[in-house]
Structure 1
Amino acid sequence: MSAAPQTSAGESREEGTGGARIVAVTACPTGIAHTYMAAEALEQAAAEAGVRIAVETQGSAGAEPVADEVIAAADAVIFAADVEVRDKDRFAGKPTVQVGVKNAISDGAGLIARAVAAIGTERHEEARTEREPAPAAEPPQGEGRGAQLRGWLMTGVSYMIPFVAAGGILIALGFALGGYEIDKAAAVTEHFDWTELKSWAALCFQTGQLAFEYLVPVLSGYIAFAMADRPGLAPGIVGGAVAVAVEAGFLGGLAAGLMAGGLVLWLRKLKIPAALRAIMPVVVIPLLGSLVVGGLMFTVVGRPIAWAQEGLTDWLNSLSGGNALLLGAVMGILSAFDMGGPVNKVAYTFGVAGLTTGTDGAFKVMGAVIAINVVPPLALALATTVRKSLFSRAEQQNGKAAWVLGFSQITEGALPFVALDPLRVIPACMAGCATTGMMTMAIGTPLRAPHGGLFVTPLVGSPFLWLLSIAVGVAVAALLVIVLKSTTRRRAAVQDA
């Protein structure tokens, strides 16, 4: 994940002097890296194409919406997002290109061209409407059922992550300050001594525990919110709370959110008397939605999912030997596949889901996930330092930034290298991440913090072995990048000769 540009999140920025006017929205699940990288890529591509563009970044710092008059004057819209775009209705009626956020990073010029082509198609359709009936409208490109489902789930995850980070790090601090018996400390409301370290440890731990109790309800609520807007929020949160009550956990939250969103969408389509329309979103829909979703989670859906959650917990606790090594390798390969993209988030979300079980096996998985995600940027930073001649001047500068990004667990620090040479960089990073994943799982390096990169090293069990696992993975990936690039260069030299 990379740092945001100096302009404020969502700031409207216009480029180019061409006749076409485009507005764009970029958004990724964490709202940190891909969001801003996609915005920069679109702005650069628009400037090169002579097209005017205004980009709204719906990032973690919030969003400053593009002005209404800019939207009104726009000829087309680009949605580059892996989550549901907020206030999407503002852009209704305009030709739309909808893709995942990574598409904008890797092919900004192509997206600009598609948006301009959509403008021409729209104008042609308008010109012939009086001569023949227009065909039935099709959903925007990229808006298939699978893409919709992923967007809904990633929206829930994006709102959950701040609770995961705050709660997880506070719990880890509690253990670091007060030892592993801190979970048995008296409630802070009953005993708190300002001069006692153990009291502060208990304060951190118990505050983190409370934050963790909101994980599943927030996940469920914002999945429903992504599907059905504000009316889905209350039924989704209630369904998530019931999932916690019946011990259905993370999986139960996913099911409750999808049920709540689907139910609210159906309720909103019902034809009702005009007198009741005003109270539907604030009384009727929350009441019926919460009752139905809560009832289903209590009586029908919750227990089977709870059994599945128990199976996941037992499996995580039983991980040892070959099973643990295989899981570590798979998580490493998934994480390096798209460097912070949707596939990477599958592995990360698996680690976070395990945290809700509170088991030692789950904490080991989290330790492996964090270690894996710092490997790609650090490996590319090391490679650019050791063999500068294999990299362009721009890549060498990116390598310097990748040191900081890697230390901070911003996996997207490797993306500039992936964009230029994916066939060599991705396999090398996969090998390095798989190595780190297997080593951390074999050694057993539990971690209760869900984010933080190398800065959470003091909170890791067996911190020196954890760092060794990262160092070996970084060395493997960097060596493979160097070997692959050197081999290619030698082959090119032979062919030229």
Structure 2
Amino acid sequence: MKFVAVSSCPTGIAHTYMAAEALEQAGRAAGHEVVVETQGAAGSQPLDPAVIAAADGVIYAADLEVQNRERFAGKPFVDVGVKKAVHDAPGVLAAAIAAVEAAPAPSSGAAPAPVAAAPATRTVGVGTRIRQYLMTGVSYMLPFVAAGGILIALGFMLSSVAWAENGAIEVTAVPAETLWTAFQWTNLEHWAVLLFQTGALAFGFLVPALSAYIAYAIADRPGIAPGFVGGAIAGLVGAGFLGGIATGFIAGFVALWLARRAVPKGFRGIMPVVVIPLVTTLVVGIATFLVVGPPMKAINDGLSSWLNGLTGGALVPLGIILGLMMCFDLGGPVNKVAYVFATTGLANAAGDAAATEARVMAAVMAAGMVPPLAIALATSVRGRLFTEAERESGKSAWLLGASFISEGAIPFAAADPLRMLPSFMIGGAVTGGLTMAVGSGLVAPHGGIWVTPLISVPLLFLLALAAGTVVSALAVVIAKNIGRSPQEDVLDETESVAALAGSR
């Protein structure tokens, strides 16, 4: 059989491409052809219409709304989350084969249905659909977080060189108009201001982008403009990212409701470009200013006050909880909740690495680095517990872990989740708690060890990371030995000797 597939995940990085590779390999192993379109962070290369037309069925391995789903209309399909395709690609392929075999055969002599006849309907629950809408918003928001946050951090780092004392205060005090009225190419102070202002503007799109693309996931293009406006109003009234989530859903569902109204033929052309954005934006504006904004601001202020009230030892339990969340599903929804909680709080840190929000970010990043680093260490010191393919994957996990890409440990977690995930969580909890305890802070939202110069108390941060990595690697080794017979070790050693002899 021939299948086409679409894979996508909230960040559009690791899971998207791992699912594509797993589906392609499962297809080859079963004697079928699977062609995958990856809708990732780098964009997507749409499938050739001829390939779609020739396909027997479709596989959706996506946590986000599939773009241009109408291309696949009329074809049998299965719809699963991206992690299902990563963990059990043969099972997903088997389900797709069953869907094709169960589909009614076209009547004799009937022409095949056109590919773009009507959108295929999804058979997912309300909870799953809402999570997909939210994850779409998060996916489009993260580039603003990364670009803006790192530029802000670099601006503050340069300001500490340009101004011997109180650099953070100085860089925020210099007016932005200095950059277009009196910029000096050799002046470090001006470069610090340029980096900070650029990053601050990029970071300012965080809530509007989150809101806009939640609305986009619900209502397509008509939801973008009112979603952006709603997010901007949420930022203005102080409702924060919680307000942005609310305005995104309001804008999306209002725009979707309007788009489905039956209107006279003469009005259809102006509905998506005038009527829907105008009416939806007005509704969102009224709702945000008068209804949604005030309570969301109260919740946001309460959360900020609670965080700022945590000091010393009180932060350690929070670090432990965040560490457990970061290692629970390695880039999945629970991991993303912890990460978004940290990154959205950076706006309140104002570049101060000693702020509670910066310490939260440091704990989250350190804990997220633990699983791949632990796997890399475990495969290095106890290689006999792993297959040859796993040992090779362990080598690349060093770089992935150092770069804060938790998904580097997914192949191991997928193969043995009951042993691997608890082992990762133990190490993540240790690192998260220790990072909070030593007072390390980070004003950049990503980067791993490559942003060490932006971390306060960097040596203790690295020690906390090393401690969690060692604990997690030890837990992995112990877990892998549970239920393992001595004969298996002998067999592994025999295979290793045979492989070495063959290579010679």
Name the CA distance, whole Å, in 2 between partners of 1:161 and 1:126.
48
Instruction: Identify the match of residue 275 of structure 1 among 266, 287, 304.
Output: 266
* Residue 475 of structure 1, aligned match among 470, 473, 482: 470
The residue aligned with 1:382 is 377
Return the offset for 1:189.
3.3
Contact 2:73-2:120 at 8 Å conserved across structures? no
State yes or no: 1:184 paired with 2:165: no
Query: Structure 1 unaligned runs (5+)?
Result: 1-19, 128-136
- 2:72·2:120 contact (CA, 8 Å) conserved in 1? no
Counterpart-to-counterpart distance in 1, 2:439 and 2:71: 50
Identity of matched residues, %: 55
- Code of the residue aligned with 1:28 in structure 2: it is C
CA-CA distance at 1:293 after TM superposition: 0.4
CA contact (8 A) 1:27 1:57 kept: yes
Q: Does the 8 A contact of 1:320 with 1:442 survive in 2? A: no
Provide structure 2 residue ranges, at least 5 long, that are not aligned to the other structure.
Answer: 109-118, 161-167, 492-504
1:285 aligned onto 2:276: yes
Give the aligned residue type for 2:152: I
Mapped contact 1:22–1:53 kept (Cα < 8 A)? yes
Tell whether 2:323 aligns with 1:318.
Answer: no
Contact 2:214 2:249 in 1 (8 A): yes
How far is the alpha carbon of 1:139 from its aligned partner? 5.3
Aligned-partner residue type, residue 430 of structure 2: T
The code of the aligned residue for 1:197 comes to L
SS of alignment partner, residue 123 of structure 1: coil
Tell me if 1:447 matches 2:438.
Answer: no
Deviation at 1:216, TM superposition (A): 0.7
Name whichever of 456-465 and 414-423 sits farther off. 414-423
Q: Which deviates more from structure 2 when the two are superposed, residues 241-250 or residues 440-449?
A: 440-449
Deviation at 1:310, TM superposition (A): 0.5
1:63-92 CA distance string (max 9 Å, x none): 000011211222211111111111112112
Q: Where does residue 228 of structure 1 map in the other structure? A: 219
Q: TM-score, normalised by structure 1?
A: 0.90
Amino acid at match of 1:343: V
CA distance in 2, matches of 1:438, 1:394: 33
Does residue 335 of structure 1 match 2:326?
A: yes
TM-score between the two structures when normalised by the length of structure 2: 0.89
**Contact conserved, 2:74 with 2:120, CA < 8 A, in 1?**
no
Deviations 1:435-480 (A, max 9, x none): 0010111222111111111111110111111111101000100111
Task: Select the residue among 71, 85, 94 that pairs with 1:104.
Answer: 85
Give the partner amino acid of 1:250.
F
1:298-313 matches, within 5 Å, as 298-313=289-304
Tell me the secondary structure at the aligned position of residue 481 of structure 1.
Answer: helix
Structure 1 residues 281, 310: closer, same or farther in 2, change over 3 A?
same
Partner of residue 201, structure 1: 192
User: Pairwise CA RMSD of aligned residues?
Assistant: 1.9
1:313-350 deviations in Å (ceiling 9; x for gaps):
11111123454222111111111111112221111111
Query: Does residue 1:364 correspond to 2:359, yes or no?
Result: yes
Which of 401, 421, 428 matches 1:406?
401
Task: Kindly state the Cα deviation for residue 236 of structure 1 after the two structures are TM-superposed.
Answer: 0.5
- For these two proteins, the number of residue pairs brought into alignment is 466
Q: Which moved more, 1:350-359 or 1:260-269?
A: 350-359
AA aligned opposite 1:294: G
Contact 2:153 2:444 in 1 (8 A): yes
What residue number does 1:392 align with?
387
8 Å CA contact 1:96–1:140 kept in 2: the answer is no
Q: Write the mapping of 1:141-160 to structure 2, written as runs, cut at 5 A.
A: 141=123, 143-160=124-141
Write the deviation string for residues 339-370 of structure 1: whole angstroms up to 9, x where unpaired.
11222111111111212333611111111111
Per-residue CA deviations over 1:475-495 (Å, capped at 9, x if unaligned) read 10011111222343258779x
Query: Quick one: distance in 1 between partners of 2:487 and 2:318?
Result: 38
Alignment correspondent of 1:432: 427
Question: What corresponds to 1:131 in structure 2?
Answer: none
Alignment partner of 2:363: what SS? helix
Q: Deviations over 1:189-217 (max 9, x none)?
A: 34422112121111111111111111111
Q: Which amino acid aligns with 1:183?
A: T
SS at match of 1:488: coil
Q: Which deviates more, 253-262 or 390-399?
A: 390-399
